[in-house]
C-alpha cells in the first residue's frame, strides 16, 4: 500500500533506451552545454516522479563515488554543490578540503528502477577546486579538457571502446570475505562461449546486458569468457569521455545485478591462479573531418603512418605508464605469459602476448588495441595516458622498436619505480598528482607480501582499491 502512494518514476526498459540514446546523440553532436543544461533542468522541474538525482564522480584511483541530491535542492543549487575532498583518497589534504561538484549535464542517464531504485536519474559530476577551476586530481575532468582541446584546436575526436572482463563468484561481498577461506567459489564451470541458458552466469549476463542496453550502451555481444565463471559484455565505440563513463557504469551495473542475485561481480585482474585473468582491452581511434586517421588501405596491416606513430609512442612509454594501466598488486599476476598475457612491449596483428595489437579493420573500424590494461584501472586515467602518450609522447631510438625483446614489469614495485623515475609521467600528470598516485600505490603494495608467490594473498584483495574501506585499511 505504501509503495502505491509513492508514485515515483519507473519507466519501461524500451523507453529508457530511447531517452538514453537521445541524450547520447546530443552528447555525440556536441550540443551546447548551456542548451543541454536548460533542457535537463526543465525536465527535472516538470517531472514530479523524480525524487533524487544521483551525482557520480571518481577518485584518483578510479573508485566510483555517488551522492544522492534531493531533486528540488539540486535544481536550485546545482552551481554550488560542495563536499569534503579530504575524505576522498588521493584528493585534497584536510587543511584544504573544500571542493565543489559541477554537473556535466550532457552525461545524464535514466536508470532502471529495479536496479537503481524508483524516482532516480543519474548524472556525472565534475570536481572543481576552490579557485573555480577543474581539479587536477579529477582525471575525468582532465580527460574531458584534453579531448575538448584537441577537438577545438585540431578538429580531432578521440574514440574508444573497452572489452571489460570480470568474474562472477558465489556469495555477496566475496572479496571482502576472501580472508575467511582464501578462495573464491565459481558459479559456473563452463568455458568460452559456453553456458546453459538458465545457469547463474548466463542469467547474470542477460540481466546486466539488458540494463546496459536500456542505458544506451548500444550493445554488440556478450558471452562467458575462457575461465570458469568469467564474463564479457561488449558495446559500441563512442567518444572518449562517454566511453570512460560507460566503464564506470558497466562495473556498477554488474556489481549491483550480482548483489541482487546473491553473488559478487569481481574485477580483480587475477582473482584465481591457474586460469586466465581479466583484462580491459582498450580499443582507440581518432577521427578528423569525419575520417578515421588510423586507416590506410595501403599501409602495413592497413594502418596509417599516423596510427603506427601512435603505437611507437605507446611502446616507447610502455614501462612509464604501466602503473597507470595496471594499478593494483593483483594486476601483476595477470601479466603472466602462460595465460595469453599481453606483457611484451611490442606490437602485432596476431600475437596476443603483445602489449599492442592491430585488429583487422576497415575505413570505419581501423583502430589500435592496447591489451595490457587491467579492468580495475581508473578508466579516465587509462584513456588519458594512452591518447596523450600516443599523440604527444616521444619515440625511442630503438632498433626494431615494434618487435624488440622488452617486457612489462612482473610486480608492482618495479612498476612504481618506473613510474616515479619517468619524466614523461611528470609531464603527463603534473608533479603533485603523480606523487599522490605513486604514494597511494606504494601504500597498497606495502600492505601485501613483496613476492606474489603461487596463490592469491589476503592483502592483495583486502587492500585492493576497489575493495577496501576505511575499516579494512585500518586493519594492518
Predicted confidence (pLDDT) per residue in 239-270, tens digit: 999 999 999 999 999 999 999 999 999 999 99
Instruction: Report pLDDT for 151.
Output: 98
Angle between helices 379-392 and 139-154 (to 10 degrees): 40
pLDDT tens digit string along 316-363? 999 999 999 999 999 999 997 776 789 999 999 988 889 999 998 899
Give span(s): CATH 3.10.20.70, the chain: 2-133
Instruction: Report pLDDT for 53.
Output: 97
Which CATH code, of 3.20.20.150, 2.60.40.10, 1.10.3720.10, 3.10.20.70, is assigned to 2-133?
3.10.20.70
Which fold does the domain 156-474 belong to in CATH? Creatine Kinase; Chain A, domain 2 (3.30.590)
Contact 301, 349 (CB under 8 A): yes
Give span(s): CATH 3.30.590.10, the chain: 156-474
Sort strands 344-348 and 354-357 into parallel, antiparallel or unpaired: parallel
Residue % of the chain over a pLDDT of 90: 82
CA-CA distance, 369 to 365, in Å (whole number)? 11
CA-CA distance, 355 to 315, in Å (whole number)? 8
How is residue 1 annotated by DSSP? -
Checking if the pLDDT of 134 tops 50, the result is yes
pLDDT tens digit string along 354-378? 999 999 889 999 999 999 999 999 9
Mean pLDDT of the chain: 93
Checking if the pLDDT of 3 tops 60, the result is no
Is residue 1 exposed (0-12), middle (13-18) or buried (19+ Cβ within 10 Å)? exposed
Residue 197: pLDDT band with limits 50, 70, 90: confident
Contact 416, 442 (CB under 8 A): yes
Instruction: Report pLDDT for 88.
Output: 83
Checking if the pLDDT of 192 tops 90, the result is no
Checking if the pLDDT of 208 tops 80, the result is yes
Question: Which sign, positive or negative, has the C-alpha torsion 340, 226, 322, 292?
Answer: positive
Instruction: Report pLDDT for 113.
Output: 96
Mean pLDDT of 80-101: 78
Residue 1: pLDDT band with limits 50, 70, 90: very low
Sequence-ordered alpha helix ranges (H) in 156-284? 178-181, 200-214, 240-260
Q: Is residue 81 helix, strand or coil?
A: strand
pLDDT tens digit string along 265-311? 999 999 999 999 999 999 999 999 999 999 999 999 999 999 999 99
Grid cell for residue 218: 548500444
Grid cell for residue 193: 562461449
Checking if the pLDDT of 96 tops 70, the result is no
Amino acid at each position: 500500500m505504501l509503495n502505491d502512494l509513492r508514485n515515483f518514476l519507473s519507466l519501461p526498459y524500451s523507453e529508457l533506451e530511447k531517452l538514453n540514446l537521445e541524450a547520447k546523440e546530443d552528447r555525440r553532436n556536441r550540443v551546447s552545454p548551456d542548451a543541454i543544461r536548460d533542457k535537463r533542468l526543465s525536465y527535472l522541474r516538470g517531472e514530479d516522479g523524480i525524487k533524487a538525482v544521483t551525482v557520480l564522480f571518481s577518485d584518483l584511483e578510479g573508485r566510483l563515488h555517488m551522492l544522492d541530491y534531493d531533486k528540488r535542492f539540486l535544481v536550485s543549487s546545482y552551481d554550488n554543490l560542495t563536499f569534503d575532498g579530504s575524505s576522498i583518497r588521493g584528493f585534497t589534504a584536510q587543511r584544504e578540503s573544500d571542493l565543489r561538484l559541477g554537473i556535466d549535464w550532457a552525461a545524464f542517464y535514466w536508470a532502471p528502477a529495479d536496479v537503481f531504485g524508483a524516482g532516480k536519474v543519474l548524472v556525472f559530476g565534475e570536481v572543481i577546486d576552490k579557485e573555480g577551476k577543474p581539479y587536477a586530481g579529477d582525471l575525468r575532468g582532465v580527460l574531458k579538457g584534453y579531448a575538448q582541446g584537441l577537438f577545438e584546436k585540431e578538429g580531432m575526436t578521440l574514440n574508444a571502446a573497452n572489452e571489460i572482463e570480470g568474474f562472477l563468484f558465489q556469495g555477496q561481498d566475496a572479496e571482502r570475505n576472501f580472508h575467511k577461506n582464501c578462495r573464491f567459489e565459481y558459479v559456473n564451470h563452463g568455458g568460452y562461449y559456453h553456458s546453459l541458458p538458465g545457469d547463474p552466469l548466463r542469467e547474470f549476463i542477460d540481466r546486466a546486458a539488458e540494463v546496459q542496453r536500456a542505458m544506451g550502451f548500444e550493445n554488440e555481444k556478450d558471452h562467458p569468457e575462457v575461465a570458469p565463471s568469467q564474463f564479457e559484455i561488449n558495446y559500441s565505440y563512442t567518444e572518449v569521455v562517454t566511453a570512460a563513463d560507460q566503464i564506470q557504469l558497466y562495473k556498477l551495473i554488474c556489481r549491483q545485478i550480482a548483489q541482487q542475485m546473491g553473488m559478487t561481480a569481481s574485477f580483480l585482474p587475477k582473482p584465481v591462479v591457474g586460469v586466465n585473468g581479466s583484462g580491459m582491452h582498450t580499443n582507440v581511434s581518432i577521427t578528423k573531418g569525419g575520417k578515421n586517421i588510423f586507416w590506410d588501405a595501403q599501409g602495413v596491416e592497413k594502418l596509417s603512418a599516423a596510427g603506427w606513430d601512435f603505437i611507437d609512442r605507446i611502446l616507447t612509454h610502455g614501462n612509464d605508464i604501466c602503473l597507470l594501466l595496471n594499478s593494483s598488486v593483483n594486476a601483476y599476476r595477470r601479466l603472466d605469459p602462460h595465460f595469453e598475457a599481453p606483457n611484451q612491449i611490442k606490437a602485432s596483428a596476431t600475437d596476443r602476448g603483445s602489449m599492442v595489437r592491430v585488429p583487422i579493420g576497415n575505413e570505419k573500424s581501423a583502430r589500435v588495441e592496447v591489451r595490457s590494461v587491467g579492468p580495475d584501472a581508473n578508466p579516465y586515467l587509462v584513456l588519458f595516458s594512452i591518447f596523450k602518450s600516443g599523440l604527444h609522447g616521444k619515440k625511442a631510438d630503438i632498433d626494431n622498436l615494434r618487435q624488440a625483446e622488452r617486457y612489462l614489469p612482473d610486480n608492482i614495485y618495479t612498476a612504481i619505480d618506473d613510474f616515479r623515475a619517468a619524466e614523461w609521467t611528470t609531464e603527463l600528470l603534473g608533479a603533485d598528482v603523480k606523487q599522490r598516485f605513486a604514494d597511494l600505490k606504494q601504500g597498497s603494495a606495502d600492505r601485501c607480501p613483496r613476492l606474489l608467490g603461487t596463490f592469491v594473498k589476503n592483502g592483495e584483495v583486502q587492500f585492493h582499491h576497489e575493495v577496501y574501506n576505511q575499516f579494512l585499511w585500518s586493519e594492518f
